[in-house]
Amino acid sequence: MFLAIDRLSHTYFTKTTAVTALDQVSLSVEKGEFVSFLGPSGCGKTTLLSIIAGLIEPTEGSVCIDGEPLWPRETNAAMARRAGGADSPIRRAVGYMLQQDYLFPWKTIEENILLGLNITGTLTPETKERALALLAEIGLGGVESYYPSQLSGGMRQRAALVRTLATDPKLLLLDEPFSALDQQTKLKLEELVWKTLQQYEKTAVLVTHDIEEAIAMSDRIFLFSPRPGRLVRTFAIPDELRHCPPFAARQHSAFSALFQSIWKEMEALESV
């Protein structure tokens, strides 16, 4: 088991209110799996992703990545027993891709894609060469010296994918990375991300409220209820769909039946 989440709950406290975003969520993800967190707006998907990224401390429960405890935080004594501490290697092991590309406008594409390597102190001639090769692989060879404003939205998201993969993270967290794109660019980028992650055997978690996208991209889908977010159902995508790249999966005869059953389940959840 690569990612293990056990009885995780999270409440946001403000001066006047307490909002329970997640309630007793338990799930696991295998190495190399692509899973989606699907659910209506406000069901806690981004909160869960931020907890897995180590950015938010959950109120309750535990998260382990590749056998290393992330939450709850270990005691100082337990951390000291691990070489280099427990949380920093985990944070480096996680790559985040968001709806907005967050490329720095004053840096060139090359500088942007090498940023993570620079920050983590892992920029070497080899890692730089790998990042530039990946840029070329995904069709952006030749734009290294361009600034983000000189690229289209789809090209910028591709550059953001390279920046995310450049540090060779063990786990990729994708928070609606396709939702700001037009339909054609979105379908092309889904295809590219799926193929790239397959090729590099990455484990990935995609947050989306798009049922079709979740079916086309995933091995399994975790469906969450509206607030407070609870895991209500896990859908295993049938082999004939999950072995197809996303565009072919969308054309497959098994696709619409699965879409309808997830749609019905989501409708029922939202009408409660």
Ligand X SMILES: Nc1ncnc2c1ncn2[C@@H]1O[C@H](COP(=O)(O)OP(=O)(O)OP(=O)(O)O)[C@@H](O)[C@H]1O
The site for ligand X (CB under 6 A) is made up of 12, 14, 19, 21, 39, 41-47, 209, 227
First-to-last alpha carbon distance for the chain, in angstroms, is 33
| Token digits of residue 211 | 């049922």
Collapsed DSSP state (helix, strand, coil) of residue 141: coil
Q: Please give the order of strands across the beta sheet that includes 3-13.
A: 18-29, 3-13, 60-65, 68-71
Cis bond upstream, residue 72 (ω within 30): yes
Q: Which CB, 167 or 208, lies closer to ligand X?
A: 208
Q: Which CB, 48 or 241, lies closer to ligand X?
A: 48
In whole angstroms, the minimum distance from the beta carbon of 11 to ligand X comes to 9
Q: Give the separation between CA 165 and CA 215, rounded to whole angstroms.
A: 23
The radius of gyration of the chain from alpha carbons, rounded to an integer in Å, stands at 19
In whole angstroms, the minimum distance from the beta carbon of 91 to ligand X comes to 20
In whole angstroms, the minimum distance from the beta carbon of 147 to ligand X comes to 29
Q: Give the separation between CA 248 and CA 102, rounded to whole angstroms.
A: 30
Place of tokens 């293990």: 4
In whole angstroms, the minimum distance from the beta carbon of 19 to ligand X comes to 4
In whole angstroms, the minimum distance from the beta carbon of 94 to ligand X comes to 17
In whole angstroms, the minimum distance from the beta carbon of 43 to ligand X comes to 4
Q: Which CB, 43 or 221, lies closer to ligand X?
A: 43
Place of tokens 């397959």: 198
Q: Which CB, 144 or 210, lies closer to ligand X?
A: 210
Q: How many CB atoms lie within 10 A of CB 36?
A: 28
Q: Which CB, 168 or 210, lies closer to ligand X?
A: 210
Collapsed DSSP state (helix, strand, coil) of residue 41: coil
Nearest CA to 266 out of 221, 225, 237 is that of 225
Nearest CA to 5 out of 45, 51, 56 is that of 51
In whole angstroms, the minimum distance from the beta carbon of 12 to ligand X comes to 3
In whole angstroms, the minimum distance from the beta carbon of 50 to ligand X comes to 8
Q: Which CB, 12 or 106, lies closer to ligand X?
A: 12
Q: Which CB, 45 or 250, lies closer to ligand X?
A: 45
Q: Which CB, 42 or 89, lies closer to ligand X?
A: 42
Q: Give the separation between CA 226 and CA 191, rounded to whole angstroms.
A: 29
149, 183 Cβ separation under 8 angstroms: no
Collapsed DSSP state (helix, strand, coil) of residue 9: strand
